[in-house]
């Protein structure tokens, strides 16, 4: 009944938001007719009300222009070039620019849409042609399309790398670092000509036993059966994916927000204060972040439960127990790509050392093919978005790719 209760709440909140929107429009119209300026406190109040609910629709990437290394602006062409029932392969390219390295950027399937990486894509476009896994909301995927689990996740990476062709680079942000390693190992053992030239793993739980965070502790303090019994719900029948078992996105986001309640409350307080004081640019930054952050998607129950069990409870990958379609995964088979691991000093999602663990696990790679970057002063999100990502982390990533 979790999903049904949430849907009833959402329907009620929608009516409140619609009333707020209509009231705001009439208020502004009346004030305009009387020649009185809109009241800042009232506008700020209405804006706060717009964030009463989550959205289940993917926002636009809003990447229309990219600046190259010389400071020249180029129009960006965005199009979907390939797709499965569960994911689209989104392609971003500067118009008229050819011959740049191609990157497959694998977005996390963690309750948010791939647009969470829009800033990452925008920065990468300075020097690269970018392909992105644009995961679909599983509640919109008909049950007859089949199941989606960890194997399916890795399969998508393999198939997308093959679609892009030889000579591409692979980058995983957060959760997909595990699947990227699995895909790289599978392709290595198959001697696939489309193996990545470089592998960049950023802030991911390769070995969640190391420096466990609150997220890791939450995954281990309850038995596996608890997650299946308490957190899995069924999509209501009026959606395309009606009947699917899912881990609802609203539960995932609520869990993340509960870990930083004070910080989020302070952000909304600041947005209100900035709007009232006329600092619209600063208020817009906060608003834009939450418009993206509150756009959520459900996770397949099979994928979520396997991730809890194999990644966060039993640590299959670092213990050498991970399988793909029933066959053991051999990370030592990875010999072709140059490996870069990136972590954030203040990451409260993936502790320091969890991503670095990939360096030892990929024992088939010589030391000169491995590098690591620990970024001071950034949390989880800051590893792949924001000023330090752009000015300090991205140059390391760019040099890593260009050195191949």
Range from 8-12, 168-172, 193-197, 333-337 carrying the lowest mean pLDDT: 8-12
Q: Is the pLDDT of residue 52 over 90?
A: no
Task: Supply the pLDDT for residue 40.
Answer: 59
Q: Which residue has the higher pLDDT, 225 or 19?
A: 225
**What percentage of the chain carries pLDDT values higher than 90?**
69
Task: Supply the pLDDT for residue 57.
Answer: 83
**Domains of the chain, first to last:** 65-217+299-402 (3.40.50.1820)
Mean pLDDT over the full length of the chain? 89
| DSSP state, residue 378 | -
Mean pLDDT, residues 332-339: 98
Q: Is the pLDDT of residue 27 over 70?
A: no
Per-residue pLDDT of 210-231, as tens digits, reads 999 988 998 999 999 999 998 9
* CB burial string 310-326: b at 16+ within 10 A, e below: bbbbebbbbeeebebee
β-pairing, 299-300 with 129-135?
A: unpaired
**CA pair distance 148, 108, nearest whole angstrom:** 14
Instruction: Round to the nearest angstrom and report the end-to-end CA distance of the chain.
Output: 52
Q: Is the pLDDT of residue 301 over 90?
A: yes
160-163 LR contacts (CB < 8 Å, sep 24+): 160/82, 160/89, 160/104, 160/131, 160/133, 161/104, 161/187, 161/192, 161/194, 161/195, 161/196, 162/192, 162/194, 163/81, 163/82, 163/89
Task: Supply the pLDDT for residue 124.
Answer: 98
Task: Supply the pLDDT for residue 12.
Answer: 46
Q: Is the pLDDT of residue 39 over 50?
A: yes
Range from 18-32, 172-186, 199-213, 381-395 carrying the lowest mean pLDDT: 18-32
For 35-97, where are the alpha helices, taking DSSP H only? 40-49
Q: What's CA 259's distance to the chain center, in Å?
A: 18
Q: Is the pLDDT of residue 318 over 80?
A: yes
Cβ contact 351:145 at 8 Å:
no
What three-state secondary structure class fits 123?
Answer: helix
* pTM of the predicted model as reported, rounded to 2 decimal places: 0.86
Task: Supply the pLDDT for residue 72.
Answer: 93
Range from 47-61, 257-271, 278-292, 368-382 carrying the lowest mean pLDDT: 47-61
Per-residue pLDDT of 102-136, as tens digits, reads 999 999 998 889 999 999 999 999 999 999 999 99
Q: Which residue has the higher pLDDT, 329 or 281?
A: 329
Residue 37 φ then ψ, to 5°? -70, 150
Mean pLDDT, residues 176-197: 98
Per-residue pLDDT of 336-385, as tens digits, reads 999 999 999 999 999 999 999 999 999 999 999 999 999 999 999 999 99
The token duo for 91 is 């392609």
Cβ contact 85:241 at 8 Å:
no
What three-state secondary structure class fits 105?
Answer: strand
The token duo for 235 is 């999509």
């Amino acid at each position: 009944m979790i999903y049904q209760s949430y849907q009833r709440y959402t329907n009620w909140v929608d009516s409140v938001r619609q009333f707020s929107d209509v009231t705001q429009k009439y208020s502004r119209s009346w004030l305009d007719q009387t020649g009185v300026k809109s009241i800042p406190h009232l506008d700020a109040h209405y804006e706060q009300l717009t964030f009463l609910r989550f959205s289940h629709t993917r926002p636009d990437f809003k990447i229309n222009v990219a600046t190259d290394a010389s400071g020249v602006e180029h129009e960006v062409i965005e199009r979907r070039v390939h797709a499965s029932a569960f994911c689209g392969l989104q392609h971003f390219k500067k118009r008229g620019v050819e011959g740049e390295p191609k990157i497959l950027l694998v977005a996390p399937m963690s309750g948010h849409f791939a647009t969470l990486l829009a800033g990452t894509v925008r920065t990468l476009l300075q020097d690269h042609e970018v392909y992105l896994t644009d995961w679909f909301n599983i509640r919109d995927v008909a049950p007859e399309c089949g199941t989606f689990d960890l194997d399916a996740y890795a399969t998508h990476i393999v198939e997308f790398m093959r679609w892009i062709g030889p000579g591409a680079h692979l980058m995983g942000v957060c959760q997909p670092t595990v699947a990227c390693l699995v895909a790289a190992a599978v392709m290595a053992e198959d001697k696939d000509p489309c193996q990545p030239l470089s592998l960049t793993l950023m802030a991911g739980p390769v070995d969640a036993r190391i420096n466990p965070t609150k997220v890791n502790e939450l995954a281990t303090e309850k038995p596996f059966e608890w997650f299946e019994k308490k957190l899995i719900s069924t999509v209501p029948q009026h959606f395309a994916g009606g009947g699917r078992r899912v881990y609802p996105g609203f539960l995932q986001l609520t869990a993340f927000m509960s870990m930083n309640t004070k910080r989020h409350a302070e952000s909304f307080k600041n947005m209100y204060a900035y709007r009232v004081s006329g600092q619209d640019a600063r208020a817009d930054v906060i608003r834009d972040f939450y418009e993206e952050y509150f756009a959520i998607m459900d996770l397949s129950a099979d994928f979520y439960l396997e991730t809890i069990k194999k990644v966060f409870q039993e640590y299959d990958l670092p213990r050498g127990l991970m399988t793909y379609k029933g066959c053991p995964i051999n990370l030592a088979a990875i010999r072709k790509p140059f490996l870069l691991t990136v972590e954030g000093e203040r990451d409260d999602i993936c502790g320091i050392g969890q991503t670095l663990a990939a360096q030892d696990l990929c024992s088939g790679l010589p030391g000169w093919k491995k590098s690591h970057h620990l970024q001071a002063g950034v949390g989880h999100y800051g590893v792949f978005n924001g000023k330090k990502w752009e000015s300090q982390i991205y140059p390391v990533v760019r040099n890593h790719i260009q050195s191949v």
